[in-house]
Amino acid sequence: MIDLKLLKNNLKDIEKKINSRGESFDLSTIVLDYEKKNSLQIEIEDLRNQKKQVSKEIGELKKNKSNSSEQEKRSDELSTNLSKLEKSFEEVDEKVNKNLSLVPNIPHEKCPNGNSEEDNVEVHRKEYKNPKTNLDHVEIGEKIDCINFDDATKVAGPRFVVLKNKLAQMHRALIQLMLDEAMKNNYQECYVPHIVNSNSLFGTGQLPKFADDSFKVENEEKYLIPTAEVPLTNLFRDKQLAVDELPVMVTAHTPCYRSEAGSYGKDTRGMIRQHQFEKVELVQIVHPSNSNDALNSLISHASSILDMLEISYRHVELCTGDLGFSASKTIDIEVWLPSQETFREISSCSNFTDFQARRMNIKIKDEKEKILAHTINGSGLAVGRCLVAIMENYFDENKGLIVPEALKKYVNFEFIPLK
């Protein structure tokens, strides 16, 4: 969530920045309720002090065996009024928090203005060898007999896949490569739950606004994780980190589950957009003064996988209208897919500033004060999309699917032959 004090003191400026995302928030109502809440708090404290004073007077009168009926009547009146005020305070506080929880993060001051992905800005490109075929990964999978969508649909439904034999081994090898590189870059590997509670999804910003995008466990306030960002970042919820503990750098490989609500008819062919997919996630928790540098380092860590695989990619800075809910700044890493003759997202690397930390109460404690941390995360990388890129960039129509040099130490074959 954004800082209420900051919002109150910079209402028009923040409202303008928030609405540059394509939103239409009237944040003045939140500020008015916030001011009402503060006024109620002052009244409550005043009544509590009065009640404390009257209670003291009653005690003195009873000690001296004097009549305290008038003071007791006054105490009852104060208790009644205090109860009403406390109820009003709780209602306004709940309203403020509910409305504020629906407001996205403030875009970074240098974030490009725009309405959609068409307004995103390419900031870097790295090109490698040209592919030998224009077949897409579905056709390639059929030619090497290692991919089956029909069986997956029979078992689970559409937007699932079964990988077989050597292609499944390559998928596993990719995961190991990504984790090994993450640890070389000083990330601590974690094994985390794949089911999380609603507090965790609220902390990273998926709830309450995007409940329909997640798979909910029936009759429980628990969900399948949409990304390892959720459990990894929430490991530090309600924690105070010492300055010398920073930066916190953690990674995990997990399956990810997304309902893809609202995306029906989009990317229905193949493995690009599925209900279940694998990712290796990179998360950093840093001092606010270091968050921009941390984002750049995380982008380089994720991009290094594509450099090792020698597949063309680019970095794209998202405009205000294409930012994720919790992000202040995002750089997408997009990989080249020859069949589509375009780059497709394989990692979204974001600086969330203190937005998530405020929701999760993640603080940094130094000698002088306690401040909210900044959180950074991105995929390092999306495994399925990386496999798709390898299939389309390394397929030889006469031989089969060639194993990239960087993966050969993880598998005992150099190519997957044609069936």
Binding-site residue ranges for L-serine: 227, 258, 281, 377
In contact, 355 and 2? CB cutoff 8 Å: yes
Kindly state the DSSP code that residue 363 receives in the 8-state scheme: E
Give the whole-angstrom CA distance, residue 355 versus residue 324.
12
Nearest to 149 by CA among 35, 296, 268, 68: 268
List binding-site positions. 227, 258-260, 281, 345-348, 377
Q: Specify whether the CB–CB gap between 251 and 281 falls below 8 A.
A: yes
Is residue 324 within 8 A of residue 350, CB to CB? The reply is yes
CB-based contacts of 116, cutoff 8 Å, min separation 6: 319, 321, 322
Q: Are 147 and 338 in contact (CB under 8 A)?
A: no
Torsion of CA 324, 321, 23, 13, to 10 degrees: 100
Nearest to 229 by CA among 325, 372, 363: 325
Phi then psi for residue 414, to 5 deg, are -105, -15
* Rounded Cα distance, 365 and 383, in Å: 36
Tokens standing for residue 48: 């509590």
Report yes or no: 359 and 4 within 8 Å, Cβ to Cβ. Answer: no
> Any idea of the CA torsion for 194, 200, 206, 212, to the nearest 10 degrees?
60
The single-letter code of the amino acid at 314 is R
Binding residues for ATP: 258-260, 345-348
CA distance 72 to 51: 10
